[in-house]
């Protein structure tokens, strides 16, 4: 009896000292295993006198029961400890500040393009895009550039190896494509990339233009002036913006004009941006030359038209106060982040 109580006490101490499930299992094997201490005790029962056996057997079984229970209790404790440690290791500190997400933004050129497009589509203009790889017919010939016209060189054209293919130097060839496709009457706006061999503060070899074309009955310079005034005043959000039409030459219009706006930085009083002229040049325009309409099979007895072409980067530089056009294409995040 004493010996069994001693055994239970010893087992409890060893179980309590076991710091892992594996160590605890060794304790179990030591007492309850096939060759365990208690198993051996049961074996010696046979050597006792018959009348003592039942009582002795019960005592051994109770001891076995007691050890089983204390081992189970310890295992339970160890398992709970392991689970608690695992949970602590996996814990997320919800009070930590987040990593933050930087929202993307539209490129300034895209913003201006979409703005110009929106202002014209609300006036009933359809958006038309032509190919960036053009041919001499659409880029020059059909636009009334004579074969030896210096403008062909002035535009610093990128010719492809197999001439007459070239990278279009302006969006004006879309006038031709749209007229041949839809005929008159017509209102189109043609946004897109254009290419010229040029590079400085105000020129990049790739830049964007939007072309406008309206062909209908009784179209005049007054319509053109009215439409452009409305467009530019809305674009710059300035009701008192003034326009100045200066006679100019483009082969595909007659008369042709360059349009200046009153300087948006000094309201015309003179500043560094307008070089103290009070005016800023923004676009080219004119009444479509009859030769262009005829090439596109438009009846010039019934129809006339106007057209304009505007540089998107130029508009962006004025609207956002960008002083070097090349910043548009350097992908410097300090620049781009300002347009979110």
Identified binder of ligand DAH from the candidate list 8, 113, 307, 312, rule CB under 6 A: 307
According to DSSP, the β-strands at 206-216 and 165-167 are unpaired
Rounded distance between C-alpha atoms, residue 333 and residue 81, angstroms: 51
In whole angstroms, how close is the CB of 310 to ligand DAH at the nearest point? Answer: 8
- Measured from the CB atom, is 159 or 249 closer to ligand DAH? 249
* Residue 312 CB contacts under 8 Å (≥ 6 apart), including other chains: 109, 112, 113, 116, 191, 207, 208, 209, 210
Q: Does 308 bind ligand DAH (CB under 6 A)?
A: yes
Across 112-268, the runs of DSSP E, i.e. the strands, are 126-127, 133-135, 165-167, 186-195, 206-216, 243-248, 253-262
Q: Which stretch binds ligand DAH (CB under 6 A): 38-46, 92-100, 106-114, 280-288?
A: 280-288
Q: Does 120 bind ligand DAH (CB under 6 A)?
A: no
Q: How many residues bind ligand DAH (CB under 6 A)?
A: 12
In whole angstroms, how close is the CB of 173 to ligand DAH at the nearest point? Answer: 9
In whole angstroms, how close is the CB of 112 to ligand DAH at the nearest point? Answer: 16
- Alpha helix (H) ranges present in 91-185? 108-121, 136-139, 151-154, 173-182
Q: Within 13 Å of residue 296, how many CA atoms lie on the same side as its CB?
A: 30
In whole angstroms, how close is the CB of 176 to ligand DAH at the nearest point? Answer: 11
Prior bond of 335 cis (ω within 30°):
no
- Measured from the CB atom, is 195 or 308 closer to ligand DAH? 308
In this structure, the chain runs to a length of: 340
- Measured from the CB atom, is 151 or 271 closer to ligand DAH? 151
- Measured from the CB atom, is 258 or 267 closer to ligand DAH? 258
Q: Which stretch binds ligand DAH (CB under 6 A): 4-12, 23-31, 157-165, 279-287?
A: 279-287
DSSP state at residue 103: P
Identified binder of ligand DAH from the candidate list 27, 71, 232, 253, rule CB under 6 A: 253
Question: How many CB atoms lie under 10 A from the CB of residue 333?
Answer: 8
According to DSSP, the β-strands at 133-135 and 126-127 are unpaired
Give Cα 19 to chain centroid, integer Å: 55
Residues 167-196 that bind ligand DAH (CB under 6 A): 170, 172
Identified binder of ligand DAH from the candidate list 142, 174, 285, 296, rule CB under 6 A: 285
Q: Does 70 bind ligand DAH (CB under 6 A)?
A: no
Q: Does 284 bind ligand DAH (CB under 6 A)?
A: yes
Q: What is the dihedral of CA 328, 333, 337, 339, to 10 degrees?
A: 10
Residues 28-47 that bind ligand DAH (CB under 6 A): none
- Measured from the CB atom, is 235 or 250 closer to ligand DAH? 250
Q: Which stretch binds ligand DAH (CB under 6 A): 10-18, 66-74, 81-89, 281-289?
A: 281-289
- Alpha helix (H) ranges present in 140-264? 151-154, 173-182, 221-235
Give the sheet arrangement for strand 243-248, strand by strand. 126-127, 186-195, 206-216, 304-311, 279-288, 253-262, 243-248
Residues 199-218 that bind ligand DAH (CB under 6 A): 211
Rounded distance between C-alpha atoms, residue 145 and residue 322, angstroms: 33
In whole angstroms, how close is the CB of 156 to ligand DAH at the nearest point? Answer: 11
Binding mask 232-251 vs ligand DAH (x if CB under 6 A, - otherwise)? ------------------x-
Q: Does 314 bind ligand DAH (CB under 6 A)?
A: no
User: In 3-state terms, what secondary structure has residue 240?
Assistant: coil
Q: Does 309 bind ligand DAH (CB under 6 A)?
A: yes
User: In 3-state terms, what secondary structure has residue 298?
Assistant: coil
Q: Which residues bind ligand DAH (CB under 6 A)?
A: 170, 172, 211, 250, 253, 256, 284-286, 307-309
């Amino acid at each position: 009896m004493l010996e069994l109580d001693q055994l239970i006490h010893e087992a409890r101490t060893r179980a309590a000292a076991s710091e892992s499930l594996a160590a605890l299992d060794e304790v179990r094997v030591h007492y309850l295993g096939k060759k365990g201490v208690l198993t051996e005790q049961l074996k010696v029962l046979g050597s006792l006198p018959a009348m003592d056996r039942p009582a002795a057997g019960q005592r051994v079984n109770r001891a076995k029961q007691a050890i089983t229970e204390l081992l189970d209790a310890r295992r339970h404790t160890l398992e709970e400890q392991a689970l608690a440690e695992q949970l602590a290791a996996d814990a997320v500190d919800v009070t930590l500040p987040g990593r933050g997400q930087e929202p993307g933004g539209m490129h300034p050129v895209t913003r201006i393009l979409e703005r110009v497009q929106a202002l014209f589509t609300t006036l009933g203009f359809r958006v038309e895009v032509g190919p960036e790889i053009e041919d001499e017919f659409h880029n020059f010939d059909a636009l009334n550039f004579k074969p030896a016209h210096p403008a062909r060189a002035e535009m610093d054209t990128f010719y492809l190896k197999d001439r007459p293919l070239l990278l279009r130097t302006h969006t004006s060839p879309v006038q031709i494509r749209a007229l041949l496709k839809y005929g008159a009457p017509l209102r189109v706006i043609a946004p897109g990339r254009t290419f010229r061999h040029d590079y400085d503060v105000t020129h990049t070899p790739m830049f964007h233009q939007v072309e406008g074309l309206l062909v209908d009955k009784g179209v005049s310079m007054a319509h053109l002036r009215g439409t452009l005034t409305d467009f530019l005043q809305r674009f710059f959000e300035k009701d008192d913006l003034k326009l100045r039409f200066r006679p100019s030459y483009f082969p595909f219009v007659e008369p042709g004009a360059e349009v200046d706006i009153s300087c948006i930085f000094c309201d015309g009083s003179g500043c560094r941006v307008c070089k103290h002229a009070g005016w800023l040049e923004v676009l080219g325009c004119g009444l479509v030359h009859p030769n262009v309409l005829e090439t596109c099979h438009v009846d010039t007895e019934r129809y006339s038209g106007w057209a304009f072409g505007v540089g998107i980067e130029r508009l962006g530089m004025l609207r956002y106060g960008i002083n070097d056009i090349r910043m548009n294409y350097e992908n410097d995040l300090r620049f781009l982040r300002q347009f979110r």
